[in-house]
């Protein structure tokens, strides 16, 4: 949610800032704005609506400043409006701030500032920040180069909640300050210039060298230097990290939408995720992990904790962990995890899955697990993200940047990584040798089988044309196929706004069948040979009630029973979700296109959910 961009250098800042915001549009937002330091002070340009609206603002082309901050806002406090959009300034227009996150005690701080003579012009929690900086700046009797930095530090001490902040001031036209707590922020290092963003892809075309801030670390940026400080403003050293993503990989490369591009990137993403970790003839290796046989044997439980699509990947992972490793495994929704007082101790391993690595609920659940004595393992697509810095161990999907809000290649890469993690655990435990050998072989063949699966695109597009005006769609599956039904229903809801529900096929007669009527669409996934016969029986129950049916399968079923059958390559049922989900990703995409919707930026959704 929300996006941050910043620039300090020798070029005009405004075009760089707006270009960065355009690259962050996938995060979801309702207003946009920039602030630059001009000869006569701060200039604020902002408006409700899309980033492109900034090009029409009077005076935008006259900006000459080489230092600036920018923001796309997703409303939390206050309706979408020009007044509530960022950047915000203090009453004297001496400090300008953009902010991601939520200030939980803003009412208390607003009252404090009001009592001290400050006036507020927006409904936001953010507006307190520049005014609080101004308050502390004026209270500080020392007049040295760290005066603004101290004011920012004192302000941050008062803030409760999450924040990523960029601050510029008319009092210092050669520096910018950034700080973060529980919200993403990266610094890109250039030659005589530096960049700031909430997401790496926004500035990847300018640099591949990045600094990653930990919570309550401050950075003082000039054109040629970056100084880092801890929470007490003691200097600290930071190592620059090189990001290997290619800037072109964040562009559409001829595809009409990022989502379609990312669906087709899945064979490559899976190859990258497998990397050098897996080979048929040797044990699966995770150099980042040092779990021993004794430790794994002593585990009472594994938790897989995540939100949304990542949670659905966890459901597939549960099947593999329990079957191959014989360790009880529970999948939990991160937003509920903390509030049910989960049973966690040093005999518990907690695994947290997040594409962005910045999901607020998942990070909060991770912190709780550490407090209770569990070992923690993060699975993310973003190196150096908050979740990976907080966890005891981290492993990466290496799927490359995923721009579309609706996750596709991140999901399949997470399932593959969980499969390899289960293999690693099983080999360490010396369990399930035959199943492990077969699963390794099947994982290595997945990229080619994904390429084969993608050939169903035209038939799926045609089915989407048939049903795009429907109001309700039902997804059914049994065993691991039910996890795909959940993910596919979510995908359809996310980007087509069609009401979609998923159910275990065996539960159909326990209530949901009351919703089946003539002409309704029911989609079923059938990849587990042990469950196909029963699933076919379940689908026949809806056919007799007039339902249209789409079946995704790699089993020997009678195609005459169903309206449309999409056949996918045979594979081990453990990794069948990686193939069976692809036609249903494409179905959601083409239904959304038929409806004329914005596929990459569905309403009300954001790529990185950084508030709880």
The residues carrying an active-site annotation are: 2, 607
Q: Which helix H or strand E contains 313, and what residues bound it?
A: helix 308-320
Instruction: Name the packing angle between helices 457-467 and 576-594 (round to 10°).
Output: 50
Q: Which helix (H) or strand (E) holds 543?
A: helix 532-543
Contact call for residues 78 and 124 (beta carbons, < 8 A): yes
Q: What is the rounded distance in angstroms from the CA atom of residue 88 to the CA atom of residue 183?
A: 18
Instruction: Give Cβ neighbours of residue 60 (< 8 Å, ≥ 6 apart).
Output: 14, 45, 54
Query: What length is written for the chain?
Result: 612
Q: Give the HSE-up count for residue 204: Cα atoms under 13 Å, Cβ half-sphere.
A: 19
Which stretch of DSSP H or E encloses residue 176?
A: strand 172-181
Cα pseudo-dihedral 352, 358, 362, 365, rounded to 10: 100
CA dist., res. 4 & res. 405, Å (int): 17
Cα atoms in the Cβ-side hemisphere of radius 13 Å centred on 348: 20
- Rounded Cα distance, 575 and 480, in Å: 9
Question: What distance lies between CA 5 and its chain's CA centroid?
Answer: 18
Torsion of CA 197, 198, 201, 203, to 10 degrees: 0
Q: Coil, strand or helix: which one is 289?
A: coil
Determine if the peptide bond prior to 87 is cis (ω within 30°).
yes
Question: Is there a contact between 325 and 296 (Cβ–Cβ < 8 Å)?
Answer: yes
* Cβ contact 550:524 at 8 Å: yes
3-state DSSP call for residue 109?
Answer: helix
Token pair belonging to 604:
């009300």
Q: Dump the DSSP string for 13-56.
A: HHHHHHHHHHHTGGG--SEEEEEEEETTEEEEEEEES-GGGGGG
Burial class of residue 200 (count of CB atoms within 10 Å of its CB; 0-12, 13-18, 19+) = buried
Q: Tell me the pairing of strands 161-169 and 172-181.
A: antiparallel
């Amino acid at each position: 949610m929300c996006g941050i961009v910043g620039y300090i250098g020798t070029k005009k800042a405004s075009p760089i800032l707006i270009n960065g915001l355009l690259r962050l549009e996938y995060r979801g937002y309702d207003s946009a704005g920039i602030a630059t330091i001009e000869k006569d002070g701060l200039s604020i340009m902002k408006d409700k609506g899309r980033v492109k609206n900034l090009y029409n603002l009077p005076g935008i082309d006259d900006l000459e400043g080489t230092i600036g901050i920018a923001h796309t806002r997703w409303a939390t406090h206050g309706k979408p409006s020009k007044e509530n959009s960022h950047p915000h300034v203090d009453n004297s227009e001496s400090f300008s701030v953009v902010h991601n996150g939520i200030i939980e005690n803003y009412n208390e701080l607003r009252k404090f500032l009001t009592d001290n003579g400050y006036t507020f012009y927006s409904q936001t929690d953010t507006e307190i920040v520049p005014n609080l900086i101004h308050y502390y700046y004026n209270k500080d009797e020392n007049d040295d180069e760290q005066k603004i930095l101290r004011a920012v530090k004192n302000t941050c001490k008062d803030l409760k909640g999450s924040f990523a902040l960029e601050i510029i001031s008319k009092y210092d036209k050669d520096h910018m300050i950034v700080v973060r707590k529980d919200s993403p922020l990266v610094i890109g290092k250039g030659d005589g210039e530096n960049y700031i963003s909430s997401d790496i892809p926004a500035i990847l075309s300018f640099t591949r060298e990045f600094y990653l801030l930990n919570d309550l670390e401050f950075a003082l940026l000039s054109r040629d230097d970056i100084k880092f400080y801890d929470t007490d403003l003691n200097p600290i050293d930071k190592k620059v990290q090189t990001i290997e993503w290619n800037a072109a990989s964040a562009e559409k490369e001829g595809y009409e939408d990022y989502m379609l591009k990312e669906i087709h990137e899945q064979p490559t993403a899976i190859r990258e995720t497998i990397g050098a970790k897996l080979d048929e003839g040797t044990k699966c290796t995770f150099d980042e992990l040092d779990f021993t046989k004794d430790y794994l044997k002593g585990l009472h439980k594994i938790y897989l904790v995540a939100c949304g699509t990542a949670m659905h990947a966890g459901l597939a992972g549960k099947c593999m962990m329990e079957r191959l490793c014989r360790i009880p495994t529970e999948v939990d929704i991160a937003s509920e995890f903390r509030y049910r007082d989960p049973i966690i101790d040093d005999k518990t391993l907690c695994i947290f899955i997040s594409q962005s690595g910045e999901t607020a609920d998942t990070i909060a659940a991770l912190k709780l697990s550490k407090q209770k004595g569990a070992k923690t393992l993060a699975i993310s697509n973003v190196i150096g993200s908050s979740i990976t810095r907080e966890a005891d161990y981290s492993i990466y999907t290496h799927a490359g940047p995923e721009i579309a809000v609706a996750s596709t290649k991140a999901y399949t890469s997470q399932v593959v990584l969980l499969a390899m993690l289960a293999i690693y655990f099983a080999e360490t435990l010396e369990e399930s040798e035959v199943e492990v050998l077969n699963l390794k072989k099947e994982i290595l063949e997945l990229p080619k089988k994904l390429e084969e699966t993608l050939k169903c695109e035209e038939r799926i597009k045609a089915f989407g044309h048939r049903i795009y005006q429907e109001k309700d769609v039902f997804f059914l599956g049994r065993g691991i196929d039910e996890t795909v039904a959940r993910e596919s229903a979510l995908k359809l809801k996310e980007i087509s706004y069609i009401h979609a529900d998923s159910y275990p096929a065996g539960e159909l007669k326990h209530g949901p069948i009351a919703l089946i009527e003539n002409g309704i669409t029911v989609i079923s996934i059938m990849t587990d040979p042990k469950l196909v016969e029963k699933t076919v029986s379940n689908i026949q129950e809806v056919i007799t009630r007039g339902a249209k049916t789409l079946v995704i399968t790699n089993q020997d079923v009678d195609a005459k029973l169903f309206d449309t059958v999409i056949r996918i390559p045979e594979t081990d049922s453990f990794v069948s979700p990686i193939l069976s989900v692809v036609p249903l990703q494409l179905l959601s995409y083409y239904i959304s296109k038929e409806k004329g919707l914005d596929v990459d930026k569905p309403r009300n959704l954001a790529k990185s959910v950084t508030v709880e």
